[in-house]
Chains A and B, each alone.
Chain A
């Protein structure tokens, strides 16, 4: 099942490796490029060379070659709706501006029919996906989560539901007194199609102890995804970067994802999440710059040879940088989203939703061909 990508003849797909390597002005990066084109898997030192190179554009040409090898000039988006069913959370992660404590007047928990009603009002024609994530709210019982999924499926049986991060799955399985596997199976029975990649943050115990000690650790996050993969449930993976993590911790995160993918193969997309400091207890940190963001995306494309898609999540990157990221290894702009809350509570300045036309225009003006996809990255054929 793990799809490892290995091109033996780059010229055959119209990519001149010698042109790309000759134009790289940083020797350490050129060495990474030679190893990459020779089909070697990149390691920690290679990843660090990507993050530290002064030749941003040279790095972009390597990551673009990797993207083009997979997808040619196509770039993807999905007609979807993000819904956050609750913001009441006991985890209290320091980088989060979305959560509220129990009893807070701003706390909420949506009823299943309210979620269904929001989706009905989304205004996106041909909605393909609902992205449903919430928080670690002790109040609802297991039935609530099943009802949520069933309610969404009543809106449209063709809507795919990508719901509950591994952090929530761990919580829900405790509420249900079921194992992760049995819990996931029951959720799938109720309508769960895929897991989003959130809650991974950074796979560093040092960072976890400082920023999110109450949240599941890296081993647990990976084990829950592995469980989903073994059930045939595809998942995404994320990295929240640009706060207190070191470059080494950033690259080690990517390497752990790649190792997990070798074992279970169910990751479909990797989504680098830009840390937004607004309204968090880390608001004195500046967040990563555009150059660091593009380098991280490019490094991810080069290192994650066995994960098909790299998403430029426009909500957190901003439209202009997300579009530029399509030339730095990303192949997917996520989607219409409709009503994003989590990044906006932390000061993201983007719109809360986009139209299909907006997304297609962004891709076209970047010089690529827009392709609408579903949750499983299957192409939607125009009706």
Chain B
């Protein structure tokens, strides 16, 4: 397949084959990819609108048995910096999030064997009691709890939904190819398990996002396999709201690779928008890329600028720290000739702009 043929497929709104995606990724000019991606973006989201969320990342514990080689956030239980968030601190964070107009909490943590199902259910109820939605528990956490307490994935999900879980974040996907996972994250859910949790969640009516962490030990082909596995599941369930690709941020003691450039990120983002033709939304990652590239990404296929992230710990632990206020988020969107609109965790518009 030639580049021209691949471009033609993309331009005529036909679904990209694996081969066509490979050719585009390897050969297409960056700005051509962007233009093709923008066409798909406007097909899903015809208005000149870009969305953002106001939420807070709360990491309930940094104690984790997984020991992923790309992670600078986790601590062993015996480490002086190990923590489990107490209720008073949690309540304070929730109060502050409400005051700032937040709609939900992104609630995730390490794989901590000391926290039982009841502990989690109590926390879910506490968060909901503040009138905030709970976007929490990525698939590796669900798999860990299921194994630890001999429950089925569906049972963990049902109990959490009963307690008030609203939707599930797409974290822990990394690269959905087990060769890669065995190298960088052998201690947590494999690719089949990750997809299985999302499939089960979708079938229960939970909406979820999907992510990809790229730019470490995976090959370009493995990045594409990741995208095609997501597209395949989305065909079956339709439960994914958005896709969020973000480049690996090397920390001081994690896998060492060259930090990815802005153009490589934009290229992957545009290709994702093209391949994932059944996803309504693609989110830009200002947290890893900074405000400038995050904003520019709105011209490369993204229709969402993510969240103001009142708090963020995981990327910050790798030494990358960017801050954006709601006002700045709106300015970035408007300076890109889009109208800004706040959304919630499942991409539904929030009453006020």
Interface residues of A, Cβ cutoff 8 Å to B: 23, 25, 53-54, 56-58, 60-61, 64, 286, 289-294, 317-321, 323-324, 326-327, 361-362, 365-367
Contacts and interface: CB of A to CB of B under 8 A. Distances in A.
A291 B299 contact: yes
B336 A291 contact: yes
A213 B209 CA distance: 54
Contact of B31 (A25, A57, A291, A362): A57
Contact of B263 (A56, A58, A317, A366): A366
Contact of B296 (A23, A61, A290, A326): A290
A365 B261 CA distance: 7
B296 A56 contact: yes
B30 interface: yes
A54 B263 CA distance: 20
6 closest A-B pairs by CB: A290-B292, A320-B262, A54-B337, A56-B299, A365-B261, A57-B34
Contacts of B262: 319-321, 323-324
Given A54-B48, A289-B335, A294 B296 contact: yes
Contacts of B266: 324
Interface in B241-294: 258, 260-266, 289-294
A186 B252 CA distance: 51
A321 B264 CA distance: 12
Contacts of A53: 337
Nearest to B334: A289
A376 to B, nearest CB: 28
A380 to B, nearest CB: 23
B137 interface: no
B35 interface: yes
Interface centre among B34, B264, B299, B336 (most CB of A within 10 A): B299
Given A54-B48, A289-B335, 5 more contacts: A57-B34, A61-B35, A318-B290, A319-B261, A365-B263
A291 B335 contact: yes
A362 B32 CA distance: 20
Contacts, number: 91
B48 A290 contact: no
Interface centre among B258, B261, B291 (most CB of A within 10 A): B261
Contacts of A293: 292
18 contacts: A54-B48, A57-B31, A57-B35, A57-B38, A57-B299, A64-B31, A289-B295, A290-B292, A290-B294, A290-B296, A293-B292, A320-B290, A321-B296, A324-B262, A324-B263, A327-B31, A327-B263, A365-B264
Interface in B199-255: none
Interface in B33-88: 34-35, 38, 48
Most chain B C-beta atoms within 10 Å of own C-beta, residue among A318, A324, A361, A365: A324
A25 B337 CA distance: 13
> Which of A25, A54, A57, A292 has the most CB atoms of chain B within a 10 A radius of its CB?
A57
Q: How extensive is the interface on chain B, given as a class?
A: 20 to 34
B128 interface: no
Contacts of A292: 335
A321 B292 contact: yes
B5 to A, nearest CB: 15
Nearest to B327: A286
A255 to B, nearest CB: 24
Contacts of A326: 263
B158 interface: no
A309 B32 CA distance: 24
Contacts of A54: 48, 336-337
A185 B216 CA distance: 54
B107 interface: no
B300 interface: yes
Contacts of B332: 289-291
B26 to A, nearest CB: 11
A56 B336 contact: yes
Which has the most chain A C-beta neighbours within 10 Å: B263, B295, B298, B337? B263
B122 interface: no
Nearest to B286: A290
Contacts of A324: 262-263, 266, 293, 296
A25 B32 CA distance: 13
A320 B293 contact: yes
Contacts of B337: 53-54
Contact of A320 (B31, B261, B300, B331): B261
Contacts of A61: 31, 35
A60 B31 CA distance: 7
B219 to A, nearest CB: 16
A57 B266 CA distance: 12
A291 B296 contact: yes
A362 B332 CA distance: 25
A57 B300 contact: yes
A326 B261 CA distance: 12
B118 interface: no
Contacts of B294: 290
A319 B264 CA distance: 12
B34 A366 contact: no
Contact of A323 (B31, B38, B263): B263
Nearest to B270: A57
In this complex, the member of B34, B38, B296 whose beta carbon has the largest number of chain A beta carbons within 10 angstroms is: B296
B312 to A, nearest CB: 17
Contacts of B291: 289-290
Contacts of B300: 57
B328 interface: yes
Contacts of A60: 31, 34
Contacts of B48: 54
Most buried by A among B35, B262, B263, B331: B262
Contacts of A56: 296, 299, 336
Contacts of B264: 365
B225 to A, nearest CB: 22
B261 A23 contact: no
Given A327-B30, A365-B261, A367-B30, A289 B35 contact: no
Nearest to A325: B262
